[in-house]
Chain A
Amino acid sequence: MSTFAPALAILAKDVRLELRRVESLATMTVFAGLVILIFAFVGDPTPADLARVGPGALWASILFAGALGFERWFAEEERNAALHGLLLAPVDREMLFLGKWAGGTLFLLALEALLVPAAATLYRLDLGGRWAAFAALLIVVTIGYAALGTFFAAVAARTTASQLLLPVLLFPLSVPLLLAGIEGGQALAAGEAGDYRDWLGLALAFDVLFGTVCTMAFGTVIEE
């Protein structure tokens, strides 16, 4: 049986739960859509302005909606103390984190699959056919953001003010990833392949850093 079987079991369980609780992803999508829409009407922008702020609006919407989602997804483990059920299992804590992290990444990517076409239309984003490169950037940034979000959702869940605490912990550390997403997207739109690769590389480096630290520290955070 695969080493990653427990992580895959958690991922499959989270997907099943999410499919039965569509309100979570639906709420995030509506919220993120509103953020994108509001940005599009700030300061009576010209088409050129829209194209310039588009990537930023897209990432801001993902950032805010993601924070909503992480809190909800981890709250499922707190209900009926299900987290203790996970901790009782003969599974290394790292595997538990990998399962939750994979779920967070998958759900964010599902959200982005809805948001990107909307943002591209509204902001008239023209990547000149470089959508595959944009998708790669999106995936890399999302993986890092999901690592942070999953980790800090676990931290915040142990407190009485988890909804308040999560953004306070999550957003400052997400800045490098957010910058990589925005700047990398703009470099792609401007056809600056070198700059795009630099930002993608930065996002990858933060994925490795955040992924490693969060995976190693997860056990300490969830144990009492």
Chain B
Amino acid sequence: MRALDDVSFSLDRGELLVVAGPNGAGKTTLVRTVARLSRPSAGRIRLDGAEWLDAPADRQREVGLLSHSTYLYDRLTARENLEFYARLYRLADRDARIRRALAGAGALDLAGLRAGTLSRGQAQRVSIARAILHDPGLLLLDEPHAGLDPHSVRRLNGVLEDLRTDGRAILLTTHDLARVPESAGRFLILVEGRVVDAGSRDDARNGLERRYERAVTRSAGEL
């Protein structure tokens, strides 16, 4: 069985592309493949016009990833976590970058708290700071709203909008279209590893959610 089959799309800077699908649709596989955490058996990815899958490790700094796992060390504070990642990425002017990333993610007030003591929403904000610390052009967000309360969802969407208008290309996966930021430009609906529908922001206002529900229900019925 193929986790992803004939999935093709492009994404521009300043654009937010939403990939929606039920559990098991292949959303995480898609994100992990683009992030080069998983290697596809076939297919190609181009980033800024160049082949991506075999690019040198140093180009990895062009991508930031926010997953439902935080990638944070519980016993380190938010600032110490970011310091570690800044050293790993060999960033210059680390203090200023950490401060900027925390501010960008709305997490400045969390800098001195240990990651293990943070709530889900707080940890997600620190994770965003981690993902944008090295100023990537492409931001991958795998179900970033998972486990967040409505207030945290609104706050996260505000941060994402700032990041998009800042010129980043953002790919966001979700199984809940209702939580997607207003500024999302395009939508792909992924079911069982295949793109079964696609739409624009206007479609989102005119029934894309119903089409999504129908596609998911149809897929569930076939199982």
Contacts and interface: CB of A to CB of B under 8 A. Distances in A.
B76 A1 contact: no
B35 A9 contact: no
Interface stretch (B63-71, B161-169, B172-180): B63-71
Contact of B72 (A10, A12, A82): A82
Interface residues of A, number: 28
A108 B70 CA distance: 29
Given A1-B90, A90-B58, A224 B37 contact: yes
A92 B57 contact: yes
Given A88-B60, A88-B65, A90-B57, A80 B88 contact: no
Given A91-B88, A223-B39, A80 B60 contact: no
A6 interface: yes
Interface string A1-30: 100011011101100110011000000000
A5 B87 contact: yes
A106 interface: no
Interface string A155-168: 00000000000000
Given A20-B75, A80-B69, A90-B60, A10 B80 contact: no
Interface in B54-111: 57-61, 63, 65, 67, 69-76, 80, 84-85, 87-90
Nearest to A3: B90
Contact of A90 (B39, B69, B89, B130): B89
A17 B88 contact: no
A6 B61 CA distance: 14
A73 to B, nearest CB: 12
B90 A85 contact: no
B67 A84 contact: yes
A81 interface: yes
A13 B84 contact: yes
Nearest to A224: B38
B112 to A, nearest CB: 15
A9 B73 contact: no
Contacts of A82: 71-73
A13 B59 contact: no
Interface string A46-59: 00000000000000
Contacts of A12: 84, 87
Given A9-B84, A89-B60, A80 B90 contact: no
Contacts of A79: 73-74
Contacts of A84: 37, 65, 67, 69, 71
15 contacts: A9-B88, A12-B84, A12-B87, A20-B76, A76-B73, A80-B72, A81-B67, A84-B37, A85-B85, A87-B37, A88-B60, A89-B60, A91-B57, A223-B37, A224-B38
Interface of B: 32, 35, 37-39, 57-61, 63, 65, 67, 69-76, 80, 84-85, 87-90, 115, 130
Closest 4 CB pairs of A and B: A85-B71, A81-B69, A9-B87, A90-B60
Given A76-B73, A80-B74, A90-B59, 14 more contacts: A10-B88, A13-B76, A16-B80, A17-B75, A20-B76, A80-B71, A80-B72, A84-B37, A84-B67, A84-B69, A85-B72, A92-B57, A223-B37, A223-B38
